[in-house]
Amino acid sequence: MAEETASSEKPQSKLIFVNQLDCYGGKNIGNFLSQCLVGASLEEIEEEEDDRSVDTDILQKPKEGTFQVVGTAKDQSTQKPDWAKDVILTTERDQLLEHLMECDVIIYDITEDPDQIDEASWAVSALHAEIERFDSPKMFVLLSTVMTWAKSKPLDPDDPEIPFTEDDYRRRKPHPNYKSHISAEKLVIKLGKTDKSRFVTYVVASGLTYGAGENIFHYLTKTAWHGQAEALQCFGTGMNVVPTIHIKDLAAVLQNTIDSRPKTRYLVAVDDSQNTLEEIVRTVSTSLGTGKVKNITKEEALLSKDLEQADFDQLLVNLRMDAVYIKESMNIRWVAETGIVDNIQSIIKEYKTTRGLLPMRACILGPPAVGKTSVVQKLCEHYKLHHIKINDVIKEAIEKLEKSAARGDQDENEDDDGKAQEDQELLDQITESKDNNGGRIEDQYIIQFFREKLHSMPCQNQGFILDGYPKTYEQAKELFATDEEEEEPEGSKVPAYDKNIMPEVVISLNAPDEFLKIRVMNLPESVVADTHNTEDGLLRRLSDFRVVNEEDSTVLNYFDELEIHPDHIDATKETDPENKGIVDKIIKIMGEPRNYGPTPEELEEMERVNTEKRLQREKEEKEEREMREAEEAAERQRRQEEWAQRLEEVKRQEQEVLENQAVPLRNYLMKHVMPTLTQGLIECCKVRPDDAIDHLAEYLFKANPQVD
C-alpha cells in the first residue's frame, strides 16, 4: 500500500507539441519546457532559486516527470535536438494530426512565420473535430503577438498612458499586416468554448521577444558588436513604447498556463518595462557599441537589407500593456522582469554566449625581426581580431587627447566635466616626459594607453592580438593588474589579474641573433628603409631585448606564474618568407574563430575568387591538355614519318641484296646456259617441228656440256 502511495505521488510526464523546433521561438520554448517538471510552477518559488542567471543554456539531464517535447521543423534536414523526444518531418496533414492526437498540449507559435497561421488554424479545427476520439483532455495554446493590438484606441483619450490588460482583448484592433493573426486568435478562442473539460484553448499575446542570441533585436546587437557602424540606427523619433518579454520568461508563462489551466483564455505576456525604441537602441549602443544613436526616417529603414517588413512593423509599434494576470496569478522565476534596459549586461552576456561570440585574446612575443608583425597581421585577418601595435596605440591615444583638448578650447562655455582640461594636462605631462627622456614616452603613460585600448568595446567584443608587448616582466604586471580588489581564493598561489584583457594564448617566437642578422641582411632595401631594421638599429634592439629577457627576468615568467604557459615556436625552421608554417601552428593552438564568420559580401567575394580560380584552373588544364594532345600528335606524325623512311630503307636494302645475290646466277646463265639455249631456239626456228618444246628439249639434252 505504501508503494502504491509513493508511486502515485510521482509527477506524470506530459507530451507537448511545439511547432518549428528549429526556429528561435520553438527552439527556446521547447528547450525550456523539456527541463521543467510537470506542475512545478504551482509550487511556491524558493528564495534561493529567485536569482537565476540568463546564461543557463547548459543542457541538463531530464528529470523524471519533466515535459516531453515533440514538434515539427521548418528545415526538413534538421537533426533532432538532444532535449526533444522526436521531430516530426512529415508534410502530410493527416499524419501530422495523428501525432497531435498523441499529445497532451499543443503549442503553435505564429509570431515568426506567417505560413504557420494557416497550419495553426487547421490544427485547432482538426483537433476540435476529433474531440470524441480524445483519450484524455487536451490543451491548445496559440502563441500570438501584441501586434493584434497595434491599432487599438486608447482606453482614455485624455490619458493615453493607461496600459491595456487582458480584460480589454475584445477591444483590440490589429495592425493592417496582422489581420490573419487576429482571425486565428478568434478561431482558437471560439473552438475552446465547446467542451472545456476535454479541449481547452488559450491565446498568449507575446511582446517582442529578446534574449538567447536575440531575434528581432539581433540587427541591433550584431551591428553594435561588429562596431563598424558609427552609430546604431533608430527608426523615426524612437519615442514609441515597445512591449517586450525575454524568451525564457515567455516560456515560463506557457509553463504556468499548462500547469494551472487559468480561467482567463486570453493572456498578455509582456515584462514590466515601458521602454521606448530609442531607449533600447541607446542602451544596446552604449553597452555593446560606440554609444551613439542615429535617427533615420522610416523610408530609410525600409531600405535596410537586414530588416524585413514584419520586423519593421513590430519595432514601430507603440503600445503600453500590462500583464496583470501573469504578475498576480503566475509563479514565474523572472529572467528579466524589468526589461531590456535594466538587464542589458546579463542579456549581452547571454547573447555572446549563445552566438559563440567570445573574444579571442593572444600575445605574440619574440626578439626583433623574428616576424611577429607579419604573423600577427595574418592571424588578425584570419580571426578578424584587432592588431595591437605599440606605435599605433600611442598614436591613436595622442590624437584622441589632442582632439579632446582642442574641443575644450572651442567649447569653453560648455560643461564637459573638466575632461578637456584633464586631457590637456595629460598631454602636457607626456610632452614633458618625452623631453626628459630623449623623445621616449614613459612606461606609465604607454601602459595607460594600452589598458584603455584593450578595455575598448571593439577589443572586448572581437578580441585582440598583442604584437610584441609587454616587453618586460614589470610592464606585464602593471598592464594586466586588476583595478578591483579581489580576494584571492584561499590556498591559491595565482596572483589576481584583469581577466577581461589577459591573453588566453601566449606565443614566443624563438631565434638566435645570427639567424636574425642574416634574415635582415637578406631583406630588400625598400623594406629596410626608414625602419629600425638597419644594422645598427637591429644590433641595439637585439641587445636591449636580451638584457630584459634573461632566463630569470623574462616576461614569459609572468604568464607562467599565472599558469598561462607560453607556447614556444622555433622560427629558424620556417622557410616560407610569408611565415605560413608559423601561422598554421598558431591557428592550431588558438582553435576555431569565435565570431559571425564571413559577411554576405565576404562570402560573395570568396565565391567570386573561387570561381575565378576554378575557371583559371580549368583554362590551364584545357591548355595543358591541348598542348599535350598537340605534342602527342606531333610525336605520332614524327614516328610515322620515321617508320616510312625505315620501310623505304629496308626495301632498298632488300633490293640491293637480291640484286647482289642475282649476279653469280646471271653470270652462270650468260656463260653456260644462254648460248646453248639461243642456238636451240635458232635451230627450232629452222626446223619448225610439230612439237617445238620437245624438239628444244632434245636439243638441249644433246648439247648439254655436262653430258659430254
Please give the pLDDT value at position 410: 60
Please give the pLDDT value at position 32: 94
| Average per-residue pLDDT for the chain | 85
What is the distance between the alpha carbons of residues 541 and 459, in angstroms, rounded to a whole number?
29
State the cell numbers at 274.
Answer: 515601458
Q: Which of 397, 246, 235, 404 is nearest to 323 (CA)?
A: 246
Least confident segment among 392-396, 426-430, 470-474: 426-430
Whether pLDDT at 375 is above 90: yes
> Is residue 51 very low, low, confident or very high in pLDDT (cuts 50, 70, 90)?
very low
Top pLDDT among 177 and 45 is at: 177
What is the distance between the alpha carbons of residues 371 and 579, in angstroms, rounded to a whole number?
8
Whether pLDDT at 362 is above 90: yes
Of the chain, the percentage scoring pLDDT greater than 90 comes to 48
Whether pLDDT at 469 is above 80: yes
Please give the pLDDT value at position 430: 86
What is the distance between the alpha carbons of residues 237 and 240, in angstroms, rounded to a whole number?
8
- Asked whether 272 and 163 are in contact (CB, 8 A), the reply is no
Q: Which residues pair with 142 in a beta bridge?
A: 108, 203
Q: Which residues pair with 507 in a beta bridge?
A: 364, 567
> Is residue 680 very low, low, confident or very high in pLDDT (cuts 50, 70, 90)?
confident
* Overall average pLDDT of the 40-44 stretch: 78
* Overall average pLDDT of the 316-341 stretch: 92
Span 118-168, pLDDT tens digits: 999 999 999 999 998 888 899 999 999 999 999 998 888 888 888 999 888
Whether pLDDT at 411 is above 60: no
What contacts 700, CB < 8 A, 6 or more positions away? 676, 677, 680
pTM attached to this predicted model? 0.78
12, 74, 183, 458 from 251: Cα distances, Å: 20, 20, 23, 33
Whether pLDDT at 4 is above 50: no
DSSP string, 207-264: -EEE-TT-STTHHHHHHHHH--SSSEEEETTS-SB--EEEHHHHHHHHHHHHHH--S-
Please give the pLDDT value at position 312: 86
> Is residue 297 very low, low, confident or very high in pLDDT (cuts 50, 70, 90)?
confident
SS3 152: coil
* Overall average pLDDT of the 205-209 stretch: 95
* Overall average pLDDT of the 576-597 stretch: 88
CATH 3.40.50.300: which residues of the chain? 360-485+493-590
At 103, give phi and psi (nearest 5°).
-90, 150
| Continuous segment of H or E residues that includes residue 454 | helix 443-454
Helices of type H across 234-343? 247-260, 277-288, 298-302, 309-315, 324-329
Residue with cell string 530609442: 278
Please give the pLDDT value at position 528: 56
> Is residue 491 very low, low, confident or very high in pLDDT (cuts 50, 70, 90)?
low
* Overall average pLDDT of the 554-578 stretch: 88
Please give the pLDDT value at position 412: 52
Whether pLDDT at 52 is above 60: no
Burial (CB count within 10 angstroms: exposed 0-12, middle 13-18, buried 19+), residue 407: middle
Whether pLDDT at 583 is above 70: yes
State the cell numbers at 25.
Answer: 521561438
State the cell numbers at 101.
Answer: 492526437
Least confident segment among 33-42, 258-267, 574-583: 574-583
Please give the pLDDT value at position 519: 81
Please give the pLDDT value at position 630: 93
Whether pLDDT at 61 is above 60: no
At 341, give phi and psi (nearest 5°).
-60, -45
What is the distance between the alpha carbons of residues 165 and 322, in angstroms, rounded to a whole number?
5
Whether pLDDT at 641 is above 70: yes
> Is residue 408 very low, low, confident or very high in pLDDT (cuts 50, 70, 90)?
low
What is the distance between the alpha carbons of residues 331 and 43, in angstroms, rounded to a whole number?
8
- Cis peptide before 705, with omega less than 30 degrees from 0? no
Top pLDDT among 387 and 9 is at: 387
CATH number of 360-485+493-590: 3.40.50.300
Handedness of CA 376, 381, 384, 387 (dihedral sign): positive
Instruction: Give 149's DSSP letter.
Output: G
At 230, give phi and psi (nearest 5°).
-65, -35
> Is residue 58 very low, low, confident or very high in pLDDT (cuts 50, 70, 90)?
very low
> Is residue 63 very low, low, confident or very high in pLDDT (cuts 50, 70, 90)?
low
- Asked whether 187 and 120 are in contact (CB, 8 A), the reply is no
> Is residue 301 very low, low, confident or very high in pLDDT (cuts 50, 70, 90)?
confident
At 213, give phi and psi (nearest 5°).
95, -10
Q: Tell the CATH superfamily of the 2-355 domain.
A: NAD(P)-binding Rossmann-like Domain (3.40.50.720)
What is the distance between the alpha carbons of residues 100 and 15, in angstroms, rounded to a whole number?
10
What contacts 9, CB < 8 A, 6 or more positions away? none
Whether pLDDT at 539 is above 50: yes
Please give the pLDDT value at position 45: 55
What contacts 482, CB < 8 A, 6 or more positions away? 496, 497, 498, 499
Please give the pLDDT value at position 417: 56
* Overall average pLDDT of the 290-319 stretch: 85
Please give the pLDDT value at position 599: 63
Top pLDDT among 49 and 548 is at: 548
> Is residue 525 very low, low, confident or very high in pLDDT (cuts 50, 70, 90)?
low
Q: Which of 519, 551, 521 is nearest to 534 (CA)?
A: 521
CATH 3.40.50.720: which residues of the chain? 2-355
For the chain, how big is the Rg over CA atoms in Å?
45
Top pLDDT among 252 and 195 is at: 252
What is the distance between the alpha carbons of residues 220 and 213, in angstroms, rounded to a whole number?
12
Residue with cell string 645598427: 536
Please give the pLDDT value at position 489: 52
What is the distance between the alpha carbons of residues 258 and 302, in angstroms, rounded to a whole number?
39
Top pLDDT among 688 and 302 is at: 688
Burial (CB count within 10 angstroms: exposed 0-12, middle 13-18, buried 19+), residue 152: middle
| Continuous segment of H or E residues that includes residue 506 | strand 505-510
Largest CA distance in the chain: 164
